[in-house]
Structure 1
Amino acid sequence: MTLTLPRPTTGLRHGTGFWVVAGTFLTAMAYSTVPSPLFPLYMAREGFSTFAVTVVFAAFAIGVVISLVLAGHVSDWAGRKTILLPALGLELVSAVLFLSSTALPVLVIARVVNGLGVGMIAATATAYLADLHTRHRPDASPHRFEVVSTAANIGGLGVGALVAGVLAQYVGAPLRTPYAVLAVLLVISIVLVALTPETVTRRPVPYRPQRISTDHGPGYLVACLGAFASFAVFGVFTSVSPGFVAGELHHPSRTLAGVVVFTVFGGAALAQTVTSGLSLGTRRALGLGAQALGVLLVVAGMYLTSFPAFLVGGAVAGVGAGVQFKASVGAVASMAAPARRGEALAGLFLIAYLGMIAASLSIGLATRYLAPTTVMAWFAVVLLVLSGAVAAMGSANTRVVSRRAR
């Protein structure tokens, strides 16, 4: 008879691993917005137009979409770490490219690689956090997971822009130092994630690209459309708003550019935390209303050449977009079966980043022919129409669910 001894427990436990993955998620998302406050510097050094900047930004979102389609759902059967670690490696490759050159082709390639990594990270890290939360606190509500995952995602976007703006303003080599700092943090994250427990048992599954299906539960399409609207708002502030601040509002400070992006995403993260106790319908209504009001204030600030009005509008829009996106993530995470959670979240992020691409590219292209204030006014109109559609669909879905429950 052979005596089999239990394997010693190695690596970090699930509770600690939860915070390791949250910190890694935040770091990766922070890295993705490092270029935002630096775009005016690239424009001054290389002579880029606003449209060229939006092409660089859209290259990131395109990389995200490609990655989500090809690999965003694979962690459901291949393992969370199997996807997360290579994705972090791609982020490092992107940082090296940014450090090597400021030429437009290199920036586009760097952003595509950055997007490929983020596309793998976004859905995988969110599902990983849900798994670790469940393993650590099996009987607890998902409240902590929802707050931490969305705060790491959205909050990280704000932190990256703020750190990059401050470093660019007060430290030498402004187009290199921010990337070097985040690259070091990414290396630390890779080491810590490697020590975190895996939560998925690998199993052989025939590979197929990500599919967008509506069979994850009632309201999936509503959640995706809400995420599309939210990321359209986020896309505006991470791509063209630093240029608007430096141009239309006459504030060339890189710190101020970073502050605007941080205010948008910081407001989003804070709002996600304080609205956790609200119902899905209430969060959706609050989010849609606030993001529409905020964008209108942004337009007013641009017409009045008022930086305070622009900043307040950005904060309000960020609050709305953050609450709406949190409602979408929470709804999808709860309605999807555990074995398909990564797939469902990958689909959500895919639709969200399509919204980011559509907003940034269309605004960047439109500014070649129209004044930026006019372009933003039209964006506000489109957002109002889209928000109305989400509200109507959400209300109709609620009535259908209520009738089924009777």
Structure 2
Amino acid sequence: MRTRHNLGFWLIAGAFLTAMAFSTVPTPLYVLYQRQDGFSSFLVTVVFATYAVGVVVSLLLAGHVSDWVGRKRVLLPALGLELLAALIFLFSTGLPELLLARFVSGLGVGMITATATAYLAELHALSRPGDGTGRFEMVSTAANIGGLGVGPLVSGALAQYLPSPLRTPYLLFAVLLVLAIVAVGSTKETVDLTSERPAWRPQRIGVNGADRRAYLAAGTTAFTAFAVFGLFNSLAPGFVAGTLHHPSRLLAGVVVFVVFGAAAAAQTLTSGLRPASRFALGVGIEAIGLLVLVAGMATESLVGFLIGGALAGAGGGVVFKSAIGAVVASAAPAARGEALAGLFLIAYLGLIVPSLALGVTTQFVDATTAMYWFTGALLALLAAGARLHGVDFPRRLLTTAGSVLGK
């Protein structure tokens, strides 16, 4: 039985990675959509925000119900939504269809993130009873964050070297999503479906019986991490192609992959650290990365932009891994899916609010000035999250944030 649970663990990890990779496939293609349909960079942020809105709606309505109805009964229809989105992308390139496809994809991802994470935690415990959570944390966050980086790299390469750049990536992922559905269908359920189900209600944010201060710290810093990820999933490819004058679709995918690849690598490399040390390191690296990133934008340096993005992504990845570990450790088993759904809800708000704010701001000021404000705001939030977590350097971050906002 342990062997079957172990195989299921890896099948769910693969399905999780596939779904998250598909969710970022359009990132390096936005420039092509702009060129073909003539819409502005602000509309790119609207398209991206439509996806994030779909995620939040799904998290509110269905992200937590797998605790009651079972993991598979949520994952299978969620993957079906991702497949539907792939088909919409495949057969149409107009703005209305693009908005619809992104919203549908967001609905699926909102159901997948917390459910797949909880499923992996349970399959890990069943296949390796008595072990710590290190393997689960590494694999779940690598599938989540690593998948977000794989999608743009694959689609950028396909769009650069193969014909039909706005269709070929979606055809590949449609096939992969079908395989993911088969994988989930063959995995054993981990939720006891014989117990009484509570009445449905929308998602609440919180952890039953856990340290609310620690949960708030996890949510605040997860918000900042996803704000960085949202920046690179929406506006960064356009900035590289426009301001930095590097129009390569492959390079656009590489830029996003560097950020998420650094996040996944940092999560792996810091697995052996104590949770408190890992959290403090992640906050510090993310803060430094944001400052290097804005300096790279101010000097129109691709190298500085990439280094800053890699550092900010690495720090964000470590912070997000710490947040997931803290929530899983403190949540009651019967409420684990709900607790994770609440964390992902806060994190995905970090995709919507800052990206839309940047999109609006760039209609009135240049991109670098907007990034000064973006960086200052995130540094302030990082400092607040660190203080809630008991890390002793928030004042330095707040002072730096004030100086950045002052520009």
Q: Secondary structure at the match of 1:13?
A: helix
Partners of 1:211 and 1:302 in 2: CA distance:
39
Aligned position for 1:211: 204
Aligned position for 1:270: 265
Q: State the 1:213 CA deviation.
A: 2.6
Aligned position for 2:36: 45
Query: Which of 179, 191, 194 is matched with 1:188 structurally?
Result: 179
Partners of 2:111 and 2:209 in 1: CA distance:
20
Partners of 1:52 and 1:190 in 2: CA distance:
32
Alignment of 1:191-270 (within 5 A): 191-202=182-193, 203=195, 204-218=197-211, 219-270=214-265
Partners of 1:65 and 1:388 in 2: CA distance:
25
Partners of 2:274 and 2:59 in 1: CA distance:
29
Aligned position for 2:400: none
TM-score (norm 2): 0.93
Partners of 2:387 and 2:323 in 1: CA distance:
15
Is contact 1:216-1:344 (8 Å) kept? no
Alignment of 1:86-235 (within 5 A): 86-202=77-193, 203=195, 204-218=197-211, 219-235=214-230
- Asked if 1:345 is matched to 2:345, the reply is no
CA RMSD of aligned residues (A): 1.4
Partners of 2:133 and 2:149 in 1: CA distance:
24
| Same amino acid, percent of matched pairs | 61
Is contact 1:80-1:124 (8 Å) kept? yes
Partners of 1:376 and 1:250 in 2: CA distance:
18
- Name whichever of 84-93 and 215-224 sits farther off: 215-224
Is contact 2:207-2:331 (8 Å) kept? no
Is contact 1:29-1:160 (8 Å) kept? yes
- Name whichever of 361-370 and 196-205 sits farther off: 196-205
Aligned position for 2:380: 385
- Asked if 1:288 is matched to 2:279, the reply is no
Partners of 2:180 and 2:163 in 1: CA distance:
25
Aligned position for 1:66: 57
Partners of 1:51 and 1:308 in 2: CA distance:
25
Amino acid at match of 2:47: V
Is contact 2:146-2:260 (8 Å) kept? yes
Aligned position for 1:373: 368
Q: State the 1:340 CA deviation.
A: 0.5
Q: State the 1:57 CA deviation.
A: 0.3
Amino acid at match of 1:181: L
Amino acid at match of 1:336: A
Partners of 1:281 and 1:232 in 2: CA distance:
22
Is contact 2:208-2:335 (8 Å) kept? no
Q: State the 1:73 CA deviation.
A: 0.5
Amino acid at match of 1:205: P
Q: Secondary structure at the match of 1:199?
A: coil
Q: Secondary structure at the match of 2:390?
A: helix
Measured against aligned partners, the alpha-carbon deviations of 1:363-399 in whole angstroms (never above 9, x if no partner) come to: 11111111011111111111111111111111189xx
Amino acid at match of 2:126: R
Q: State the 1:359 CA deviation.
A: 1.2
Partners of 1:57 and 1:242 in 2: CA distance:
13
- The 4+ residue runs of structure 1 with deviation greater than 2 A are 213-216
Amino acid at match of 2:112: I
Partners of 2:208 and 2:115 in 1: CA distance:
20
Amino acid at match of 2:76: L
Q: State the 1:215 CA deviation.
A: 3.6
Question: Which runs of 5 or more structure 2 residues have no equivalent in the other structure?
Answer: 393-407
Amino acid at match of 1:23: G
Is contact 1:268-1:321 (8 Å) kept? yes
Q: Secondary structure at the match of 1:249?
A: coil
Q: State the 1:94 CA deviation.
A: 0.5
Measured against aligned partners, the alpha-carbon deviations of 1:218-254 in whole angstroms (never above 9, x if no partner) come to: 1111111111111011110111000110011110001
Is contact 1:88-1:190 (8 Å) kept? yes
Aligned position for 1:22: 13
Amino acid at match of 1:306: S
